[in-house]
Structure 1
Amino acid sequence: MENIKGKVIAITGASSGIGEAIARHLASLGAMVSLGARRLEKLETIVNDIVKNGGRAICKQLDVTQAVDVRDFVSFTIDEFKTVDVFINNAGLMPLSMINAYKVDEWHKMIDVNIKGVLHGIAAALPVFEEKDRGQFINITSVGDRWVGPTSTVYSATKFAVRAISEGLRQEVSGNIRVTIVAPGATESELAETISDPELKKVALEQFRTHLLPAKAIAAAVAYAVSQPSDVDVNELVVRPTAQKSF
């Protein structure tokens, strides 16, 4: 995957799960990775591991709900690595609940992280891409970006929104800027831990334990999209466990 080597790739939500797997995998392929998330200590551990194994990595504490934080994250990456070639919007929350549970605060948190966080990433990195007329956004959504069921109403709505934003962005930017969504099915991550209802969390964890993709499978999908020649834009990748037949 020669098209990955030497690229500067910024990743949000990189302290665990899919974000961590993406960072480790791309670094192993020769990318320079910049990791952002709220949990700085976890980021530093990952960076130390990558560097110990011969890779190049940096990290910065990041709250994607704050536009200034995301702008500072991009500036930090440019200060250290001179540019940004790929920006991966990976940070996300999934506190599932029935609408009539009225968990309004959780709805707002999902909107702030899952939608506004992506928009903040676009607003921070797009000027860099436009200035050099090249770059790539990879937005990690979910199979929930095309399916909705009981308890996933608001979560799916946020992922539908990111899918729409990604398609609109793809059409609006120059022909040299690529936009990809990667939609994981059931995957090893901490998402279910954000569910506040104990019964729902139990059901979700039992379901997720049944057929789980390793996070590195999503990292491999991201690497595939990044590795394509500059005139090839992989718009959507849906990655499910083979046994996952619904949603």
Structure 2
Amino acid sequence: MHDGAALQGKTIVVTGASSGIGLATAELLAQRGANVVLAARRTDRIAALASVLRDGGARATAITVDVSDADSVQALVDESVRSFGGIDAFVSNAGVARLARLEDGDAADWNAMVDVNLRGLLHGLTAVLPVFRRQGHGHVVAVVSTSGIKISPTMGVYAATKNAARTVMEALRAESTDGVVRTTEISPGFVRTELADGMDEVSREQIQAGMRAFGLDPVAVARAVCFALEQPHDVEIGSLTIRPTIQD
């Protein structure tokens, strides 16, 4: 069950909204009455989705963003505030995975994961926290990963970036006990997304096989995001882990 009125009229920014968990989250938020800002690099995809959501009666806008660029994220937040008057929640979902054994690792791949998975979150916080402080309320949701809970071969650097993001979120929680900012970290396991598309052929086949065999529909994670956002202001869902029942 969910509180059908809890998200009505709330403005929520979702990064990585062009596919997978971000797309499913944006769609579900719109269904529950939120104003949705779809943010991603693939302009054509988010523009098309925003159009579909508006046709269904939602208030939705698409803003192109590169979360690895602090100025781009600041522009995203500024434009969202101009469009809707404020931001009630920021869902930091954009992420990349470049898997390889450490001895075979590529510095460019490592840097890409640090730039998107960790710096992307930090850029979001830098831009949105002042807005939350001015408003007197706000909620940050970060999509991390079970890869940081169970460390597997080839996932060392990816897991490290996700655990760094988890640490940042816990620090933010500890710094936010005045009741203004709420924090939630969500750790999905295998989910059917496009995350594997940028991997090498061997890693991609391995990950995609798991997704096909038992990966969750992204909507399962979207429901978890909405569950956290729908709680009363004095309730904070600090951490949620969501994985397929049969995932080890």
> Is TM-score (shorter-chain normalized) higher than 0.5?
yes
Structure 1 unaligned spans of 5+: none
The 3-state SS of whatever aligns with 1:180 is: strand
Q: Select 1:7's aligned residue among 6, 10, 13.
A: 10
**1:176 CA displacement:** 2.5
* Equivalent in the alignment of 2:185: 181
> Structure 1 residue 131: deviation in Å?
1.2
1:145 Cα deviation after fit: 2.5
Worse overlay, 57-66 or 205-214 = 205-214
Distance in 1 between the 2:101 and 2:7 partners? Answer: 42
* Preserved contact between residue 22 and residue 219 of structure 1 (Cα < 8 Å): yes
CA contact (8 A) 2:18 2:46 kept: yes
Partners of 1:161 and 1:31 lie apart in 2 by: 30
Structure 2 distance, partners of 1:54, 1:102, is 47
The counterpart of 1:78, out of the listed 77, 81, 90, is 81
Deviation for aligned residue 1:115 = 0.2
Does residue 101 of the first structure (1) align with residue 104 of the second (2)? yes
What is the aligned-residue identity percentage?
37
What is the CA-CA distance between 1:149 and the residue it aligns to? 1.3
Gapped regions of structure 2 (runs ≥ 5): none
RMSD of aligned residue pairs (Cα, Å): 0.8
CA contact (8 A) 2:132 2:180 kept: no
Structure 2 match to 1:40: 43
Task: Tell me the amino acid that sits aligned with residue 223 of structure 1.
Answer: C
Q: In structure 1, what is the equivalent of residue 196 of structure 2?
A: 192
**1:83, distance to aligned residue in structure 2 (A):** 0.4
Q: How many residues align?
A: 244
Question: Could you tell me which amino acid in structure 2 is paired with residue 47 of structure 1?
Answer: A
Q: CA deviation at 1:9?
A: 0.1
TM-score (norm 2): 0.97
Q: What SS does the aligned partner of 2:141 have?
A: strand
The answer to whether the 8 Å contact 2:133/2:180 transfers is no
TM-score, normalised to structure 1, is 0.97
Match of 1:204 among 207, 210, 214: 207
Cα deviation 1:60-114 (Å, max 9, x = unaligned): 1100000010010001111111100000100000111111113111000000000
Q: Secondary structure at the match of 1:178?
A: strand
